[in-house]
Every structure is written in structure tokens, then in C-alpha cells.
């Protein structure tokens, strides 16, 4: 009897053990399925953004595109097509390809807002290293094609006619001036970049037409260089000096020398025709100041301190000038909320007279034009 009871108890315990093993197997399997389902759910939340990154423009409304990038969708795609073949092929740390459109958007947002690169990367979900490389690559690419978008037209008569409509000054094809772009303290040749206002900058010389488009830009000279010296040493200055533009005239402020091809206002005029010439000169020449104002209003990066090396800053400056001309050609609006202060709208009487103006035939030519006006 005792043996029978022991056998029954052993069978019962064995059955209970088998049931426990089966239960553990079922529990382990359900846990694994739960964890796998959680992984799939997390992965599904990541997939949509990266799959739609090639169409990232769909994340922005039309107004948001203009505010963030200063261009609408067709214009952004046009700019991307201009430099897509020049841009290098890069990958992020996650080994995802940086598309040309992504690189252009990163650079445009940096130009438009002037914010730190980390902020730009956070908005578009890129690392700081990817943002930095993209800005440099896009800026260099736009600089390489600048000769196609910043240049004098073959027919100068249209320039002369448009300028003559402002204040009846004949023969004018452009206004010239310089503006300082603030940069961080450079490592090499630091003193050369300190300008007369005692901060580090690059002195940008530009010539514009009556429609505020840039015809020539030199953005490589340090802030200590004087406007007149930059013009004399520039390629465009040598072209004017060699007679390449014939009898065409540039208008400059009193910081330049009076030459047969660059007219400046009279000092303390008394005669009526000289006063009228100065008035017409000021009305016509202010187009370059307005061009600088529009440029800095559209691209705030030029209105703040650019924390890059001077070489890369030069790329950014020329790139913004190229985009400025493209924005005018593409008729991009300029929002009044993109406001900047009036540093570029300085008065001519505040400009120091650093060079002696030649007299003689040059003055006679200027006087003839003044009397005609």
C-alpha cells in the first residue's frame, strides 16, 4: 500500500514539473514576442522621417520656406541644380548620404539666420560636423560659379540708360563702395584684419547696377585695407584703368581718388553746377548702399560675426552675393520683418579724405558732365 502511494505521489510531482516547464516556455516566448513588437514599434517611428528626407521641403509651408531659407521651393530646387554636380558626395556619422538638396538647405538656413551651426543642425537633424562641411561645400561651389552671375553685361548701354533715369548723369555704369563684414579673431595675420573701427573684419568691395544687382565683388581683403587701395589692386580696377570699358564711369564716395573713370563729389562746392552735380551724384551712388542693405537684410549671417576662418568667410560672402543676384532675377520678395540697422547707409561727409585728388583734365571732364546735368 505504501509503495502504491509513493508511486502516485511521484507521478503527480512529475506531471507538475512538466506543467511548470511548459508554462515557462510559454512565458519566455510571449516575452520575446513583446520585446520584438516594441522594437518594431520604435523602428516604425524612425522610418518615416528618414524615408521622406529626400522630400524634406514638404515639412515647410510656403511662408516658412521664405522665412527659413529666403527662397521658395522652385528657387531652392533651381539653386540646387546649379551646383549639384560640383558638390562633393558626403555621408553622415549614421552613414546616410548627404543629398545636394540637404546641403543647400543647411547652407541657406545658415546664411538667412546667421545662427550657430549647432542650431542649424538641430532644426534639420544633422550633426555639427555635417553642417560645417555642408556650409563650406555649398559656399565654395557658389563661389566657383560666381563669374556666371556676378558680371558686367556685354551691352553697357542698358546700364547707362537705367542710371541716367535716376538723376540724369550720363555714362554711368555702376556705383562702387565697400562694406565691412565682422569676423572672429583670426589666428594668422590678426592685426591686418583690424579695421578703422577697431574690430576684425573683411572689407568687401562691390559694384552694382541701378537695379541693385552686383556687377563685381571682391571679398578677400582684410579690414585694414582702404577702399581705394582695394580698387586699384583689383582685376576690375585694372580693367577700368586699361580702358576696357571705354568712356564709361563709376561713381564713388570721397574715399576714392578722382580718375577719368571714377567720379567722386566736389569738396565744399560753391558754384551752382557743382552743387547740382553733388546732389545728382549722391542720388545715383546710393544704389550701392541700398544693395548692401538689401544683401544684409536678406542674409543675416553678413550682419553678425562669422565664426569661420577668413578664407571660408570669403566663400560665404561671395556665395551670398550670388544668391542676392539670383533672388533679384527670380523676383524673391524681401520681408520688412528681416530688418537690420543702417550701418551701410553712412553719410559721405563722414568719410575721411585719405588721398590727394588729381586735377586738370579729370576735373574738367567731371565739370563738363556736371554742367550737362
Q: What is the 3-state secondary structure (H, E, C) of the chain?
A: CHHHHHHHHHHHHHHHHHHHHHHHHHHHHHHHHHHHHHHHHHHHHHHHHHHCHHHHHHHCCHHHHHHHHCCCHHHHHHHHHHHCCCCCCEECCCCCEECHHHHHHHHHHHHHHCCCHHHHHHHHCCCHHHHHHHHHHHHHHHHHCHHHCCCCCCCCHHHHHHHHHHHCCCCEEEEEEEEEEEECCCCCCHHHHECCCCCEEEEEEEEECCCCCEEEEEEEEECCCCHHHHHHHCHHHHHHHCCCCCCCEEECCCCCCCECCEECCCCCCCCHHHHHHHHHHHHHHHHHHHHHHHHHHHCHHHHCCECCCHHHHHHHHHHHHHHHHHHHHCCCCCCCCCCCCCCCCCCHHHCCCCCCCCCCHHHHHHHHHHHHC
What is the chain's mean pLDDT, rounded?
82
- Taking alpha carbons only, the member of 108, 140, 136 closest to residue 124 is 108
pLDDT band at 355 (very low <50, low <70, confident <90, very high): very low
CB 150 within 8 A of CB 214: yes
Distance linking the first and last C-alpha atoms of the chain? 137
Q: Decide if 342 is inside a domain.
A: no
Q: Supply the pLDDT for residue 89.
A: 80
Q: Supply the pLDDT for residue 36.
A: 77
pLDDT band at 176 (very low <50, low <70, confident <90, very high): very high
- Is there a single domain that holds both residue 133 and residue 255? no
Q: Supply the pLDDT for residue 119.
A: 62
Q: Decide if 29 is inside a domain.
A: no
- Is there a single domain that holds both residue 213 and residue 297? yes
Whole-angstrom distance, CA of residue 284 vs CA of residue 175 = 8
- Is there a single domain that holds both residue 193 and residue 295? yes
Above 80 in pLDDT, residue 362? no
**How large a percentage of the chain has pLDDT more than 90?**
59
Q: Decide if 116 is inside a domain.
A: yes
CA angle at residue 31 from 30 to 33, to 5 degrees?
A: 65
Q: Supply the pLDDT for residue 367.
A: 64
Q: Which three cell numbers stand for residue 177?
A: 563702395
- Is there a single domain that holds both residue 176 and residue 91? no
Q: Which of 35-44, 90-99, 244-253 has the highest mean pLDDT?
A: 244-253
Q: Decide if 343 is inside a domain.
A: no
Above 70 in pLDDT, residue 285? yes
Above 50 in pLDDT, residue 220? yes
- Is there a single domain that holds both residue 122 and residue 153? no
- Is there a single domain that holds both residue 127 and residue 107? yes
- Is there a single domain that holds both residue 152 and residue 293? yes
Above 60 in pLDDT, residue 293? yes
Q: Supply the pLDDT for residue 341.
A: 46
Above 60 in pLDDT, residue 221? yes
Over residues 136-166, the pLDDT tens digits come to: 999 999 999 999 999 999 999 999 999 999 9
In which order are the strands placed within the sheet that holds 201-208? 214-222, 201-208, 172-182, 249-251, 262-263
Q: Which of 22-36, 48-62, 84-98, 113-127 has the highest mean pLDDT?
A: 84-98
Whole-angstrom distance, CA of residue 10 vs CA of residue 13 = 5
147 or 349: whose pLDDT is higher?
147
**Domain of residue 140, residue span:** 53-144
Q: Supply the pLDDT for residue 358.
A: 45
- Is there a single domain that holds both residue 153 and residue 275? yes
End of a domain among 144, 172, 200?
144
User: Residue range 92-97: average pLDDT?
Assistant: 61
User: Residue range 32-61: average pLDDT?
Assistant: 66
Residue where the block lists cell 586699361: 242
pTM here?
Answer: 0.78
Whole-angstrom distance, CA of residue 200 vs CA of residue 308 = 12
**How large a percentage of the chain has pLDDT more than 70?**
74
Name 105's Cβ contacts closer than 8 Å, sequence gap at least 6: 56, 57, 69, 76, 124
Q: Decide if 292 is inside a domain.
A: yes
Whole-angstrom distance, CA of residue 317 vs CA of residue 298 = 13
Total domain count, the chain: 2
- Is there a single domain that holds both residue 156 and residue 119? no
Whole-angstrom distance, CA of residue 326 vs CA of residue 85 = 19
- Is there a single domain that holds both residue 180 and residue 309? yes
Over residues 49-82, the pLDDT tens digits come to: 445 455 677 778 888 889 889 999 999 999 999 9
Residue where the block lists cell 553642417: 131
Whole-angstrom distance, CA of residue 180 vs CA of residue 219 = 10
Above 70 in pLDDT, residue 313? yes
330 or 11: whose pLDDT is higher?
330
Q: Decide if 112 is inside a domain.
A: yes
CB 103 within 8 A of CB 137: yes
End of a domain among 127, 144, 161?
144
Above 90 in pLDDT, residue 184? yes
Q: Supply the pLDDT for residue 348.
A: 36
Name 103's Cβ contacts closer than 8 Å, sequence gap at least 6: 87, 90, 134, 137, 138
pLDDT band at 131 (very low <50, low <70, confident <90, very high): confident
End of a domain among 124, 144, 164?
144
- Is there a single domain that holds both residue 300 and residue 183? yes
Q: For the CA atoms of the chain, what is the radius of gyration?
A: 32
Above 90 in pLDDT, residue 17? no
Dihedral pair phi/psi, residue 262, rounded to 5°? -135, 110
Above 50 in pLDDT, residue 342? no
Whole-angstrom distance, CA of residue 261 vs CA of residue 174 = 11
- Is there a single domain that holds both residue 128 and residue 242? no
Q: Decide if 21 is inside a domain.
A: no
Above 90 in pLDDT, residue 174? yes
User: Residue range 299-309: average pLDDT?
Assistant: 92
Bridge partner residues of 365 (DSSP): none
Above 50 in pLDDT, residue 7? yes
Above 60 in pLDDT, residue 172? yes
Q: Decide if 13 is inside a domain.
A: no
**Beta strand pairing call for 262-263 and 249-251:** parallel
Q: Supply the pLDDT for residue 28.
A: 58
Amino acid at each position: 500500500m505504501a509503495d502504491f502511494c509513493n508511486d502516485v505521489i511521484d507521478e503527480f510531482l512529475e506531471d507538475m514539473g512538466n506543467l511548470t516547464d511548459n508554462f515557462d516556455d510559454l512565458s519566455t516566448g510571449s516575452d520575446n514576442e513583446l520585446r520584438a513588437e516594441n522594437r518594431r514599434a520604435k523602428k516604425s517611428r524612425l522610418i518615416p522621417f528618414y524615408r521622406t528626407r529626400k522630400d524634406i521641403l514638404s515639412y515647410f509651408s510656403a511662408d516658412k520656406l521664405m522665412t527659413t531659407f529666403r527662397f521658395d521651393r522652385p528657387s531652392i530646387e533651381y539653386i540646387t541644380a546649379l551646383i549639384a554636380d560640383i558638390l562633393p558626395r558626403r555621408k553622415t556619422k549614421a552613414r546616410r548620404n548627404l543629398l545636394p538638396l540637404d546641403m543647400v538647405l543647411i547652407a541657406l538656413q545658415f546664411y538667412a539666420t546667421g545662427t550657430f551651426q549647432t542650431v542649424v543642425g538641430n532644426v534639420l537633424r544633422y550633426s555639427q560636423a555635417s553642417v560645417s562641411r555642408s556650409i563650406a561645400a555649398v559656399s565654395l561651389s557658389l563661389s566657383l560659379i560666381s563669374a556666371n552671375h556676378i558680371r558686367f553685361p556685354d551691352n553697357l548701354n542698358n546700364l547707362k540708360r537705367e542710371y541716367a533715369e535716376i538723376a540724369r548723369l550720363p555714362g554711368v555704369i555702376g556705383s562702387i563702395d565697400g562694406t565691412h563684414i565682422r569676423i572672429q579673431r583670426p589666428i594668422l595675420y590678426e592685426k591686418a584684419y583690424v579695421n578703422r573701427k577697431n574690430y576684425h573684419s573683411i572689407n568687401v568691395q562691390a559694384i552694382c547696377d541701378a537695379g541693385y544687382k552686383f556687377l563685381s565683388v571682391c571679398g578677400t581683403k582684410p579690414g585694414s585695407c582702404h577702399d581705394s587701395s582695394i580698387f586699384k589692386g583689383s582685376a576690375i580696377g585694372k580693367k577700368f584703368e586699361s580702358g576696357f570699358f571705354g568712356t564709361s564711369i563709376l561713381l564713388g564716395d570721397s574715399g576714392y581718388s578722382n580718375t577719368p573713370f571714377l567720379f567722386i563729389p566736389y569738396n565744399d562746392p560753391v558754384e551752382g553746377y557743382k552743387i547740382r552735380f553733388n546732389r545728382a551724384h549722391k542720388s545715383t551712388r546710393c544704389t550701392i548702399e541700398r544693395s548692401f542693405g538689401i544683401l544684409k537684410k536678406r542674409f543675416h549671417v553678413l550682419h553678425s560675426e562669422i565664426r569661420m576662418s577668413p578664407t571660408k568667410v570669403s566663400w560665404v560672402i561671395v556665395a551670398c552675393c550670388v544668391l542676392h543676384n539670383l533672388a533679384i532675377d527670380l523676383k524673391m520678395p524681401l520681408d520688412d520683418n528681416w530688418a537690420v540697422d543702417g550701418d551701410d547707409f553712412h553719410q559721405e561727409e563722414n568719410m575721411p579724405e585719405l588721398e590727394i585728388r588729381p586735377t586738370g583734365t579729370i576735373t574738367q571732364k567731371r565739370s563738363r558732365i556736371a554742367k550737362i546735368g
